[in-house]
Amino acid sequence: MSAIRTVVRGAQRRRVATIVIVAATAMAVTATVLAGLLLAASSAPFANAFAKQHGAHLTAYFDAAKTTKDQAAATASQAQQAVGPFPVTTVETKLDDGPGRGPTLPPMQVAGRATPGNDAIDKATLLSGHWPRATDEIVIVRTNLRLPAGTALTLTNGSTLKVVGEARSISQTAQGWMTPEGVAALGQTGWQMLYRYADAGSETAMTAHQTALGAGVQTQSWLGVRADAAHRTQLFVPLLSAFGLIGLALAALVIGNVTAGTIASATRRIGVMKALGLTPAQVVRACLAQALIPGLIGAALGIVAGDLLAIPLTADVADLFGTVPMSVTPWVDAAAIVAAVLVIGATAAPAAWRAARLRTVDALAVGRTPQSGRGRLAARLAARSGLPRSLSIGLAQPFTRPARLLVMLLTVALGTAAATFAIGLASSLRLVQAADQKPETSADVLVLPPMDGSDPRVVLDATAGTGSYYGRGPADVTVDGLRQAARGNITVGDARAAGYDMLAGRWYTAPGEAVVTTGFLTATGKHVGDTVTGAGHGPLTLVGEVFDGSANNHLYTDAASLPNQKDQTFEWYVKLTPGTDRTAYLQALESKHLSAEATKAEGADGTLVILDSLTALLTALLVSVAALGILNAVVLDSRDRVHDIGVHKSLGMTPKQTAAMVIASVGIPGLIGGLAGVPAGYLVHHWAVPAMAEGAGIRLPESTIDVYAVGLLAILALAGLFLAAGGALLPAGWAARTRTAVALRTE
């Protein structure tokens, strides 16, 4: 046993190498934990959150004017379990931005509940702040419109409510919560009951439960909430799964490389110990111990780091899915440890077996004599390349260890693939968002409908600087075959200026023609070229499929196509002639009593902000794991070749040349890895983005998928080189600083 300890201790004395091994393993295990959490969070996120909150299968609203509290409470007997009644009211508020100012918020249904999670059903999760304690305090549902604690909301009667926290109910039973007394003070309008049933899995069963409550009771089935959530989560599951899988692959690769490298670097020491009588079985045990000790220390640190990073990550994921954050998940931690040990064991066992079988004389020669033949052709070609010798020596170096070269190459490839995927994804999502923000972003000025009902076109035509314009207004369009009216947009003038991408067909050019979204075609089963009919309008020929960033049933047509909407008011989108001063133009309109404003793109919406931070975090993590993997490989390589480095220095190689040689040693894996990683990331992007869109029920135009310019791809391919060079910097500095005499003495 003491001989084994000697081998292990020998490796531990190599402080830099050991630190790198521990760090690389820790980072890889951190990535494993986070990847595991991503995969876990992406698997049935609604079902998990619903189970965790013991969600309500049915939420019922009883009108307080018609139903007493006792009558509402009596309905509990119809369900397996019920809670309530809670007093509810609907409030209309606006943000308190000063007297009479501030945007109006959508009406909120507020329930009066004394505690967030103590009820048997719908254990709402408090995400920030505290639960209301006073009658003027409110906790609101976290949405994309973040209202931090302390925000004041002004009610229509002039009084204010103070936001004291954010919460989330997976059953979506309310948009806000106050104390029951607070709701009463606002003027209670009804009672809320929450039910759970033994049979809640089908529409038929839920309809029966809704009917049993009696006519006039407003209800919300969990099946509808689940369908909405699925719509939302399906958009992001491919994204998170892709990151999770890349993370797992990268972690396995790095841990495997670290382990194999650790054993390989101790081979000479093992040779010495074998010469002194260490048996092959003892060698195997020593090798396994040597790999497992730093590996397990790294794994333990990785678990801690992973659990710490999981807090912001799972919060982001929960926001993305509209669910509740996962807490530290012991099974993911345990699985990460087991996976790390398995990978270490699987890599260490063959390496240990090889070391045990290695002839002692060969083991002793390791470090001075590379295995014959390997890398000679590369060395020969590099010598004749005409490059500075320090670079050509470095370039040829990895070929003496093909397995390590392959792992380094894969590590760079995965790191580059992750970066390529993340950048492409961010670009695609921005384009989707840009489509969602049209037509505001494709016009210069938005003219609001005149209060006096006059036609602003007269003023627009008479104002200098007006280029082109069109009017646009909302309309509900009844379509045979659709249960609910489609959201229509009727236009006056040439609305092609809105700049929407067409997925198929063309923009309409005459009354009687319409373009629709993919959601419309899916819902109606129609195709471009078909005609739809409905009340209030004549036949509409669908001449094109438009992409407006929405999955809903949207229809765009000329106002003349819908005679029943002739009284519709329009907003007018104006494109100015080049060189027109927008501020002066707006003042000119104002002087003519037209209310207008400069169009602007809205800021990135909350989902995009979350996605951006999530992709940035995951990309940074994966790239760091890859860089640490490279660092580890180069440290091992430099340690193995320290004697050769000494020889080069004794022949006159300067520290700069030495550093250049070490950095050049990752040049080929960096370049090839980058070149391989870019198409891999490209393919993952081209798979994941349409899959995300399909999950969300939209079809994307090519322009949102083909986001990679040739220049960007070239830069990303070169990024592999920079990633590898970044990983090699530290060992390069170490090699440059190594004293020649010391290096020459090193065995």
Partner 1 sequence: MTPAAEGVLPADDRGAPASLASPTMIDVVDVSRRYESDQAALDHLSLHVAEGECLALLGPSGSGKSTLLNLIAGLDRPTEGTVTVGGTRVDRLSEAAAARYRRATVGLVFQFFNLLDDLTVTDNVLLPAQIAGKSAGSRRRAQQLLETLGIDRHADAYPGRLSGGERQRVAVARALMNKPPLLLADEPTGALDTASGAEVRKLLIDLHAEGQTIVMVTHDEVLAAAVATRTVRLIDGQVAS
Cα separation, 394 vs 666, in Å, equals: 8
Q: Which two tokens stand for residue 709?
A: 């310019």
Site for partner 1 in 360-379 (CB under 8 A): 368-370, 372, 374-376, 379
Cα separation, 202 vs 199, in Å, equals: 8
Tell me which of 486, 630, 653, 717 binds partner 1, using CB under 8 A.
653
Candidate ranges 64-72, 109-117, 506-514, 638-646; the one touching partner 1 (CB under 8 A): 638-646
Residue 746 in the binding site for partner 1 (CB under 8 A): no
Smaller CB distance to partner 1: residue 396 or 689?
Answer: 396
Candidate ranges 244-252, 299-307, 339-347, 380-388; the one touching partner 1 (CB under 8 A): 380-388
Rg of the chain over all Cα atoms, to the nearest angstrom: 33
Q: Which two tokens stand for residue 282?
A: 């003892």
Smaller CB distance to partner 1: residue 374 or 600?
Answer: 374
Cα separation, 112 vs 86, in Å, equals: 6
CA 616 vs CA 243, 421, 602, 606, 611: distances in Å: 11, 11, 22, 15, 8
Residue 379 CB, nearest distance to partner 1 (Å)?
5
* Interface mask toward partner 1 for 722-741; x: CB under 8 A: --------------xx-xxx
Counting Cβ atoms within 10 Å, is residue 298 exposed (0-12), middle (13-18) or buried (19+)?
buried
Residue 651 in the binding site for partner 1 (CB under 8 A): yes
Residue 393 CB, nearest distance to partner 1 (Å)?
8
Smaller CB distance to partner 1: residue 408 or 698?
Answer: 408
Q: Note if the bond before 85 is cis, omega within 30 degrees.
A: yes
Q: Please count the residues of the chain.
A: 747
Cα separation, 747 vs 740, in Å, equals: 13
Smaller CB distance to partner 1: residue 623 or 732?
Answer: 732
Candidate ranges 78-86, 193-201, 272-280, 646-654; the one touching partner 1 (CB under 8 A): 646-654
Can you list the pairs that 609-613 forms with residues at least 24 positions away whose Cβ atoms lie under 8 Å?
Answer: 610/316, 610/319, 610/320, 611/236, 611/239, 611/320, 611/425, 611/426, 611/429, 612/426, 613/316
Candidate ranges 65-73, 389-397, 624-632, 696-704; the one touching partner 1 (CB under 8 A): 389-397
Give the H or E element holding residue 414: helix 402-436
| Three-state DSSP state, 62 | strand
Residue 268 in the binding site for partner 1 (CB under 8 A): no
Asked if residue 3 lies in contact with residue 273, where contact means CB atoms within 8 angstroms, the answer is yes
Residue 650 in the binding site for partner 1 (CB under 8 A): yes
Cα separation, 225 vs 255, in Å, equals: 42
Instruction: Please give the backbone phi and psi of residue 116, each rounded to the nearest 5 degrees, phi first.
Output: -80, -45
Tell me which of 56, 649, 678, 723 binds partner 1, using CB under 8 A.
649
Residue 12 in the binding site for partner 1 (CB under 8 A): no
* Interface mask toward partner 1 for 596-635; x: CB under 8 A: ----------------------------------------
Residue 388 in the binding site for partner 1 (CB under 8 A): yes
Residue 13 in the binding site for partner 1 (CB under 8 A): no
Smaller CB distance to partner 1: residue 418 or 653?
Answer: 653
Smaller CB distance to partner 1: residue 89 or 657?
Answer: 657
Candidate ranges 331-339, 381-389, 450-458, 592-600; the one touching partner 1 (CB under 8 A): 381-389
Smaller CB distance to partner 1: residue 305 or 364?
Answer: 364
Tell me the CB-side half-sphere exposure of residue 410, using CA atoms within 13 A.
Answer: 16
Smaller CB distance to partner 1: residue 388 or 563?
Answer: 388
Query: CB neighbours of 81 closer than 8 A, spacing ≥ 6?
Result: 120, 121, 195, 196
Tell me which of 59, 75, 192, 400 binds partner 1, using CB under 8 A.
400
Candidate ranges 437-445, 493-501, 639-647, 709-717; the one touching partner 1 (CB under 8 A): 639-647
Residue 736 CB, nearest distance to partner 1 (Å)?
8
CA 222 vs CA 76, 90, 93, 484: distances in Å: 17, 21, 27, 20
Q: Which two tokens stand for residue 503?
A: 């997925």
Residue 643 CB, nearest distance to partner 1 (Å)?
8
Residue 342 in the binding site for partner 1 (CB under 8 A): no
Site for partner 1 in 52-81 (CB under 8 A): none
Instruction: Please give the backbone phi and psi of residue 174, each rounded to the nearest 5 degrees, phi first.
Output: -160, 165
Residue 640 in the binding site for partner 1 (CB under 8 A): no
Smaller CB distance to partner 1: residue 237 or 393?
Answer: 393
Q: To 5 degrees, how large is the angle CA 673–CA 679–CA 685?
A: 125
Residue 647 in the binding site for partner 1 (CB under 8 A): yes
Residue 744 in the binding site for partner 1 (CB under 8 A): yes
Residue 641 CB, nearest distance to partner 1 (Å)?
10
Smaller CB distance to partner 1: residue 133 or 380?
Answer: 380
Instruction: Please give the backbone phi and psi of residue 61, each rounded to the nearest 5 degrees, phi first.
Output: -120, 120
Smaller CB distance to partner 1: residue 348 or 653?
Answer: 653
Residue 659 CB, nearest distance to partner 1 (Å)?
11
| Three-state DSSP state, 55 | coil
Cα separation, 464 vs 576, in Å, equals: 9
Residue 644 in the binding site for partner 1 (CB under 8 A): yes
* Interface mask toward partner 1 for 654-693; x: CB under 8 A: xxxx------------------------------------
Name the pairing type of β-strands 554-558 and 486-492: parallel
Torsion of CA 660, 664, 666, 672, to 10 degrees: 150
Smaller CB distance to partner 1: residue 357 or 380?
Answer: 380
Q: Which residues bind partner 1 (CB under 8 A)?
A: 368-370, 372, 374-376, 379-380, 383, 388-390, 396, 400, 643-644, 646-657, 736-737, 739-741, 744
